[in-house]
Structure 1
Amino acid sequence: MRGRTRKAEESEVDLTPMLDIVFILLIFFIVTATFIKENAIDLTPPPPAPPDQPVNPVPTILIRITEDSMVRVDGRLSDIGSVRAAIERRIAEDPESAVLVQAHPLARNSLVIMIVDQARSAGVEGVGFTVDATE
């Protein structure tokens, strides 16, 4: 009988099922993790111009958004529907014009995005952003 009790004392826990579960969970989390490249607005500034070359300023279409959602295109009061027409008119006059959106910190973000969409639908590729410092 002593032999039987010794075998019962020498029993070990089999860790193989636990390792299988750990590897299955690892594979599950790797497979379910989604790596999607999101499209976003590129906010990287352009490289500085070399100091030996003269800087020629690009004509700018300034779109200012106030804190109470008033939109001004080059100083003229405008609504969201006529922003695209105003940009197209300025681009027709000077095709090298750039668009600069100057938004108040309390302005609605949705309005800023709608104006950027209007500028891009008017054919402007580069749209710059700045914050209105006058509060």
Structure 2
Amino acid sequence: MSRKRRGRYEATIDITPLIDVVFLLLIFFMVSTNFVRESQLRISLPEASAQAAEEAPEKIKLLVDKRGEYVVEGQVMINDQLETLVLALSEAKKRAAPDAVLIITADALSSYQSVVRAMDAAGKAGLVNLRITTQQPAQNG
């Protein structure tokens, strides 16, 4: 009595659908990603002599648009006078923490004078911690 040997059945996993899903996800993330070029100033930074702070300080945001108009913490200023800006920054400082950082975000097409005026107003309002950023102009097309 001889027994017939059955052929070995090898178990396989079809990973074709998995590869399809991975490529679809890859395409989705490539299409939905924003590629933004940030402009930066070249400066030499001092070295830290102490450890980094554990918590980030509170931020007060000041926007300068291309027409030289100011927006402090989401509120548009009625004019671009220095006194108005100092008053608005003083009020924002009262609501913020004592070590609050003023972040000045200026449009790339805004005048240097409007940014200097914002820095001057910050100094008069007692804000000594400043950070300056810029916005790229919108491209038509």
Give the TM-score, by structure 2 length. Answer: 0.55
> SS at 2:90's partner residue?
helix
Tell me which residue corresponds to 1:92.
94
Separation (CA, whole Å) in 2 of partners of 1:90 and 1:130: 19
**RMSD (CA atoms):** 2.3
Unaligned runs of 5+ in 1: 1-42
Separation (CA, whole Å) in 1 of partners of 2:73 and 2:65: 13
Per-residue CA distance 1:70-104 (angstroms, 9 max, x = gap): 21111110133321111111222222211111001
Tell me which residue corresponds to 1:126.
129
Unaligned runs of 5+ in 2: 1-42
> Which of the two has greater helix per residue?
1
Separation (CA, whole Å) in 2 of partners of 1:54 and 1:95: 15
Tell me which residue corresponds to 1:34.
none
Residues 67 and 110, structure 2, Cα contact 8 Å, conserved in 1: yes
Which is greater in Rg?
Answer: 1
- Larger RCO (CA within 8 A; separation ≥ 6): 2
Matches within 5 A, 1:16-95: 44-45=44-45, 55-78=54-77, 79-81=79-81, 82-93=84-95, 94-95=97-98
Separation (CA, whole Å) in 1 of partners of 2:64 and 2:74: 11
Give the TM-score, by structure 1 length. Answer: 0.57
Runs of 4 or more, structure 1, over 3 Å off, are 43-50
Q: Percent identity?
A: 16
